[in-house]
């Protein structure tokens, strides 16, 4: 199997079976973000306790890339310190810009499947949408990093 096919399968799996999709009950940080170029939207909710992302949910209407990226993001950051979540976000943005990984151990797991998006500038915004929501949530409430 070609790597591209494998990556496509990973993306479709997250799109068809999104992880952490839904709504968090109780008090949660919430950010609604819209991709101005297409009108697609995402709502991201974070429950942060003692600087740790205890829980995270998303819902929205978007293309397969945006929804798969959101699903992968929730898996990547759940249970992690906010500072580490921000570091993953930074590495993910660098990957979307086509920059090489800084260190070999910077393995982004399923997120690596979105590497090919870097070749399609129009889709970069799709893949970045959920991450921008994450960064906005962290910045807006001054959640400690
Ligand atoms: Fe709208 Fe991808 S086309 S987020």
What string of pLDDT tens digits covers the 145 residues of the chain? 677 888 999 999 999 999 999 999 988 999 999 999 999 999 999 999 999 999 999 999 999 999 999 999 999 999 999 999 999 999 999 999 998 777 656 678 899 999 999 999 989 999 999 999 999 999 987 665 5
CB 48 within 8 A of CB 31: no
Regarding the beta carbon of 124 and ligand 1, being less than 6 Å apart is answered: no
Q: How many domains does the chain have?
A: 1
Is residue 145 a part of any domain in this protein? no
| 35 Cβ closer than 6 Å to some ligand 1 atom | yes
**pTM across the whole model:** 0.93
User: Does residue 111 form part of some domain?
Assistant: yes
In a domain, residue 131? The reply is yes
Which domain range does residue 132 map to? Answer: 3-140
Instruction: Establish if 85 belongs to a structural domain.
Output: yes
Nearest-CA residue for ligand 1 atom 4 is: 126
CATH of the domain at 22: 3.90.1010.10
Convert 113-135 to b/e letters by CB count within 10 Å (16 or more is b): bbbbbbeeeebbbbbbbbbbbbb
């Amino acid at each position: 199997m070609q790597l591209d096919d494998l990556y496509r399968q990973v993306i479709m799996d997250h799109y068809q079976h999104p992880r952490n999709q839904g709504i968090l009950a109780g008090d949660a940080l919430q950010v609604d973000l819209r991709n101005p170029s297409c009108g697609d939207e995402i709502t991201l909710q974070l429950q942060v306790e003692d600087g740790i992302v205890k829980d995270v949910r998303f819902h929205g209407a978007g293309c397969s890339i945006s929804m798969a990226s959101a699903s992968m993001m929730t898996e990547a950051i759940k249970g992690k310190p906010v500072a580490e979540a921000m570091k993953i976000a930074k590495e993910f943005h660098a990957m979307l810009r086509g920059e090489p990984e800084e260190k070999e151990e910077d393995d982004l797991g399923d997120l690596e499947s979105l590497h090919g998006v870097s070749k399609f500038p129009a889709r970069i915004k799709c893949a970045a949408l959920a991450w921008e929501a994450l960064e906005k949530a962290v910045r807006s409430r001054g959640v400690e990093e």
